[in-house]
Amino acid sequence: MKKPGKDATLGEGAAGRCEVKSLEDLYRLQQLDRRMSSLREELEDHPVRRELTSLEEEERTLSGELAELRREYDEVKRRQEKAEAELRSVEEKLKKEEEKLYGGSVSNPKELRGLQAEVKSLRRKMDALETQAIEDMERLDELRGPLEAAEARHREISAQLENKRKALQTEEERIHGELSVLREEREKVREGIDPGLLEIYDKLLETKQGLAVVPVLEGVCQGCRVELPGKEYDRFLRSEGLFRCPNCRRILVKPE
């Protein structure tokens, strides 16, 4: 970076006559603050974090769908098993009643009519239970495919979530590590800067979206993108002290 220096006409009190080293350090401080700000933004809105959030949303939705599929599957399965158990019981009872009806052990007409009615009732019940069992088996077949697909996707998402969480943890550790190094360097740089200049810098940092010190390229302030008037630009090029943009009031430095 070319040596900036003093400008008595545009100075800000004592800071207006700061030494070259202070401005160089100030520009370095700005670079450090910008990098730290960028890292904090990356930490808050890291691409891996966005991917993780998207996967978590998909996992929650899929978990709800999977729970509903399992609930229905289990309900149909229990109903089918209950129907089959009842069917076996009815079959045994029907067999016994038919043995009585056709075995010749009962000759009383009234008892025979009663047995015939019971056999008919049991057969109707068997038909209903068989129908129920078949319908439930068909429904289980319909549910099995979507359920297995949902379970497979859920396992896949769970594995992806684990990988993304590990990747995010690695990235967070990297960013925190870099931030720690930058904080130490930042404190050292601040110690060597004139307090008056630091005060101006800190205020600008708050009011100028974190950009207090900017270079001038081809006569244009890189903070507000406004071209300096010809005379002001000439004075800036000759200056050896604090020089602020006449438009945005940021501190200007010569490019490296």
CA distance 68 to 77: 14
User: CB-based contacts of 21: which residues, under 8 Å, 6+ apart?
Assistant: 192
Q: What's the confidence (pLDDT) of residue 215?
A: 95
CA distance 31 to 211: 9
Q: Which residue has the tokens 């038909």?
A: 127
Q: What's the confidence (pLDDT) of residue 14?
A: 42
CA distance 82 to 99: 26
CA distance 146 to 152: 10
Delineate the domains of the chain, giving CATH numbers in brackets: 8-19+194-253 (no CATH), 47-189 (1.10.287.1700)
Q: Which of 150, 140, 141 is nearest to 67 (CA)?
A: 150
Residuewise pLDDT in 10s, the chain (256 residues): 433 333 333 344 444 444 567 889 999 999 999 999 999 999 999 999 999 999 999 999 999 999 999 999 999 999 999 999 999 999 999 888 888 778 777 778 888 788 789 889 999 999 999 999 999 999 999 999 999 999 999 999 999 999 999 999 999 999 999 999 999 999 999 999 999 999 999 999 999 999 999 999 999 999 999 999 999 999 999 988 899 999 999 999 998 7
Task: Using DSSP bridges, classify how beta strands 251-253 and 220-221 pair: parallel, antiparallel or unpaired.
Answer: unpaired
Residues paired with residue 215 on neighbouring β-strands, in sequence order: 253
Q: If DSSP codes are grouped into helix, strand and coil, which group holds residue 229?
A: coil
CA distance 200 to 12: 9
H/E run at residue 33? helix 20-44
CA distance 176 to 170: 10
